[in-house]
Structure 1
C-alpha cells in the first residue's frame, strides 16, 4: 500500500495547490496555483525541500488529517488553530506527524489562506503540468472526508524549526504600477484612488478580491467599451459600479473592464491574506522601483533557509514534560 494522507474532514475550501501552470495563457487558462506563493517558499524552507511540491491550501478553516507513515509537516500562511492528538502546535513551524496520530486544523486566527506542507509533497497526478486544483477551469476539486492523498518520497529528516512571521496578514499598503488603461482615468480619480482606504469585501475567492470604500466609485468615460484584452493576476479592474477588483490566481485571461493599475507580484500575498473588513491602500511606484522590489523579494525568498530557527516549545504545551531530558550532562551534588 502506498503512503497516504487521509482526510477525515475538510473545510469548504481545502484544495491541493502548487506553483500553478505556466504556458497555458494562450489556451485561455490562467496560472492558478497557491494564492500565497510566499507561504509555499516558507514551508519548503522549513522542510528543506523544493517549493514546487504540492501542498494543501486551506481557506478559512482546515480539517482533520492522518498519515499512514511518520510524516514531516510544516504549517505556514494564515495562522490557524492546530493540534496533534489534542496538543497545541505552533504555526509557522515544522513538526513530526507520527503514523496514526490525528492532526486537527481549525478556523483561521489571522489572514485567510493557511497551508499544510508534507515531507515529499502531495503526489496526486499532474494535469497540464501541475497538481493544482483550478476550480474556475474545472480542474480538480475541493477535498472532502474520505479522500486519500498519495505522498511523495521524503528524503529529509529535520523538524522542530520555525520561520520568521511577517506582516502580510492584516492588510496594509500595496504597491502598484500603471496598467494599460491607467491614463484613461482622470487625474483627480487617480489621486483619490491612492488616498482611499479600501475595505476588503466579503466577496472574494481564488478569482479575485473586491474592494469597497466610503466614497463614490471610480469611472472612466466610455470605460464599458474597452476592448477585451490580456489580463494577469494583480490587475485591478474597475467594474461597472466603480468598485476595484484585484484579480488573483484563478483570474480569467482576458477582460474588458478598465484597469486602474496592477499590483506588484511580490505584494499579491498581502492582498490574498487580507481578511474581510481589513484595510488596503494602494501606492503607485515607478517601473524601476517595482523591479527593485521584486529583486528584494526574490532575494528574501532565497534567504529563507538561512532564517529558520529551532522551535522552542512552551513547557505548558508539552503534556509528557517529565519524559524529556531537559539538562544534559548533569551530575549529582555528592559526586562533586
Structure 2
C-alpha cells in the first residue's frame, strides 16, 4: 500500500508512456499527455521514466500515506501542501506515514503529475499501466481508492527547473496526408493565424478557434477514412482545427492539414483554454533533428537536478532540528 485517496479531481488517471504497436488493432497509444513530465519526475526521484504516475487534469486531490513514501510533483504547476505546509512544485518530497498531501487546482497549463518512488504499481495490460478511458481500459481514480507503489529506495529534497510549456506558443508541424488538398493561400493563412484553445478539449483532442473564415480542403467530402495518430490536425466541417491527443481515435476522414511534432505535442496539450498557439511548417529533415534534440534533452534531465533548499518559514518544526553541530573558542 502507499496512498489512500480521500478527495480527487474528476479526471485523474494512472498514465505511463502508453501502449505502442496496437494501432492496427484499433487501439491508440494513450499514455501521459505531457511525456516530459514523466521524465522530470523520474529524474527527481532517481528512477526510470517508464514508471507510471498519476495524471491530474486541472485539479488534484487529497492523499494520505500509509507508509513513508517519496513523491515528486511535475507538469502543470498546482497548489500543493503536506499537512498544511506549502511545498515546492517540480520537486521531490518525503511523505511520512500518516501525513496528508493536498494538491489543488492548476495555476498554469492543464495536466499535473504525482509520482511515487518505485512508480505506481497497478496491473500491466498490453505492456502498459496507462488508463485509456475511451477504450474502457481502467478507470479514473476515485475517492476511497488506494494507490499502490513499487519497491523503492532513494532520497528526496531535489528540484528541477522545467521547460516553459504551459501557456501556448509555437508548434512545429510537418505536412500530413491531405496537406496537398489545401491551396497555398489557405496554408499561408493557417501559418499566419493566431489560434486560441477552445473549451472543447480532453485527452482525445483539443479544438482551436480563430477569427475569420475556416480552413477548407478541396474535395474534403470525398476523403476516405484512414489511419490517424496523435499530433494530426484535423479540419472539421466548420473549418475549425482539432489537434489530436493521446486517446484519439485510430481512423478518421476529416482532412488533416498538418501534424504536430511529438516534441511539441506536450506544449499543445498543456495550453490552457484561451491560450494562443501558432504553427510553423518544417521539413522532415528538420523534424528528425528537432526530435533527436528533444530526446537528448530528456536524457540529460538527471544531470539538471539540484538540491531543494527549504525556506525556514515553511518548516513548522524548525526548533526540533539540531542546527548547531559544535562550537569553537574564539580565544584558543
Q: Which residue of 2 aligns with 1:220?
A: 217
Q: Which residue of 2 aligns with 1:52?
A: 50
Among 28, 31, 34, the residue aligned to 1:30: 28
Q: Which residue of 1 aligns with 2:234?
A: 237
| Gap runs ≥5 in structure 2 | none
Q: Which residue of 1 aligns with 2:109?
A: 111
Q: How does 1:1-336 map to 2 (within 5 A)?
A: 3-154=1-152, 156-326=153-323, 328-329=325-326, 331=327, 336=332
What is the SS of the residue equivalent to 2:264?
helix
Residues 25-57 of structure 1, C-alpha deviation per residue, up to 9 Å, x if partnerless? 111000001100000000001111111111100
Larger mean CA deviation between 316-325 and 134-143 belongs to 316-325
- The alpha carbon displacement at 1:321 in A equals 2.2
- The alpha carbon displacement at 1:332 in A equals 5.2
Work out the CA distance in 1 between the residues paired with 2:221 and 2:231.
20
**Number of equivalenced pairs:** 332
- The alpha carbon displacement at 1:92 in A equals 0.2
Residues 7-38 of structure 1, C-alpha deviation per residue, up to 9 Å, x if partnerless? 11100011111111111111100000110000
Larger mean CA deviation between 100-109 and 125-134 belongs to 125-134
What is the SS of the residue equivalent to 1:29?
coil
- The alpha carbon displacement at 1:326 in A equals 4.4
Work out the CA distance in 2 between the residues paired with 1:126 and 1:307.
31
Work out the CA distance in 2 between the residues paired with 1:26 and 1:229.
11
| Gap runs ≥5 in structure 1 | none
What is the SS of the residue equivalent to 1:107?
strand
Work out the CA distance in 2 between the residues paired with 1:70 and 1:136.
34
Answer whether contact 2:235 2:242 (CA < 8 A) is retained.
yes
What is the SS of the residue equivalent to 1:61?
coil
Work out the CA distance in 2 between the residues paired with 1:202 and 1:79.
20
